[in-house]
């Protein structure tokens, strides 16, 4: 018989998958759009997110706290991204992003359930808690920005090729996506600044050997995003140039957040 964690995991994956199937069905019908107000996708995603939260809660209860292991951290981040997208889609035309977000979340939840490695997150002070929360929120916002950058590149390419695909018609206008991209980058960059400052203040030996690469890569990502925002403000950077800077900066952030965990836990079978 399945235990509660497995049942919640299965339910979470199922609702995310049904939401993706519904979105793809909408895409195949030219008379409908993914932003159709009668679509059950947001509700399906919300139920999936509730199940996702239950999965995280069960794991935290069983192990006396949240885990920072590779797949657990990915699952928590995916949960935050899903909820940010659910909130943002009520105001902005971002529902098309549910397809990659839900699919990635399915993989993260499944792997976190399968790989039972628990590395407790220790928030020894309010400052450390600020650092941890701001890091997760910043990463989640910039993850959405990276997905928007990919969508922006798809639109730009399709317009250059004079394509009239169903996918292109379902995406928001180029200018809308570009405006939203920089809104998410600006917010994410500001919160990343808080994460780095709080880390520098409250983490001992911020540049010690086991943290040096995380710190350097995070600072590199912060610098790249900052230069992109400066270039946008002063020189009007946009289009493919903005996409390249966004994805490069985000890759640096991914390596900073998950690089060590991946190498040690997945490749070397050790813990951080």
Q: What is the pLDDT of residues 124-157, one digit of tens each?
A: 677 788 888 999 999 999 999 999 999 888 888 7
How much is the pTM? 0.89
Task: Give yes or no: residues 27 and 146 share one domain.
Answer: no
Q: For residue 5, give the nearest of 63, 84, 91, 87 by alpha carbon.
A: 63
Q: Answer for the pair 97, 85: CB distance below 8 angstroms, yes or no.
A: yes
Say whether both 131 and 214 belong to one domain. yes
Domain boundary among 121, 146, 180: 121
* N residues, the chain: 272
CB-based contact 178:238 (threshold 8 Å): yes
Same domain, 170 and 235: yes
Domain range enclosing 188 = 124-272
Q: Are residues 48 and 166 in the same domain?
A: no
Residues 109, 131 within the same domain: no
Q: Tell me the C-alpha distance between 268 and 215, whole Å.
A: 22
pLDDT digits (tens, 9 = 90+) for 205-232: 655 555 667 888 999 999 999 999 999 9
DSSP designation for 35: T
Q: How confident is the model at residue 159 (pLDDT cuts 50, 70, 90)?
A: confident
Which of 82, 198, 176, 86 lies closest to 132, judged by CA? 198
pLDDT at 128: 81
**Do 7 and 103 reside in the same domain of the chain?**
yes
| Chosen domain end from 121, 138, 167 | 121
Same domain, 254 and 139: yes
Instruction: Looking at the structure, tell me whether residues 137 and 56 fall in a common domain.
Output: no
Count up the domains in the chain and report the number. Answer: 2
Residues 6 or more apart whose CB falls under 8 angstroms from that of 135 comprise 192, 195, 199, 257
117 and 128, same domain (yes or no): no
Same domain, 78 and 100: yes
């Amino acid at each position: 018989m399945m235990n509660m964690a497995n049942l919640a995991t299965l339910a979470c994956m199922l609702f995310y998958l049904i939401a993706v199937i519904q979105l793809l069905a909408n895409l195949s019908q030219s008379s409908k759009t993914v932003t159709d107000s009668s679509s059950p996708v947001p509700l399906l995603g919300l139920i999936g997110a509730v199940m996702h939260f239950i999965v995280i809660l069960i794991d935290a209860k069983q192990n006396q706290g949240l885990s920072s292991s590779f797949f657990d951290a990915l699952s928590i981040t995916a949960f935050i991204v899903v909820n940010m997208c659910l909130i943002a889609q009520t105001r902005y035309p971002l529902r098309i992003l549910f397809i990659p977000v839900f699919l990635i979340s399915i993989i993260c939840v499944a792997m976190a359930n399968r790989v039972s490695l628990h590395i407790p997150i220790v928030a020894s002070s309010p400052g450390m808690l600020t650092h941890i929360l701001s890091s997760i929120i910043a990463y989640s916002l910039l993850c959405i920005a990276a997905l928007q950058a990919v969508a922006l590149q798809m639109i730009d390419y399709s317009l250059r090729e004079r394509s009239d695909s169903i996918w292109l018609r379902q995406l928001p206008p180029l200018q809308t996506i570009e405006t939203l991209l920089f809104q998410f980058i600006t917010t994410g960059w500001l919160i990343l600044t808080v994460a780095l400052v709080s880390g520098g203040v409250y983490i001992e030996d911020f540049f010690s050997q086991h943290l040096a690469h995380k710190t350097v890569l995070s600072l590199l990502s912060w610098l790249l995003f900052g230069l992109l925002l400066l270039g946008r403000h002063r020189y009007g950077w946009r289009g493919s140039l903005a996409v390249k800077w966004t994805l490069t900066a985000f890759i640096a952030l991914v390596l900073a957040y998950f690089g060590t965990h991946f190498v040690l836990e997945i490749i070397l079978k050790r813990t951080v």
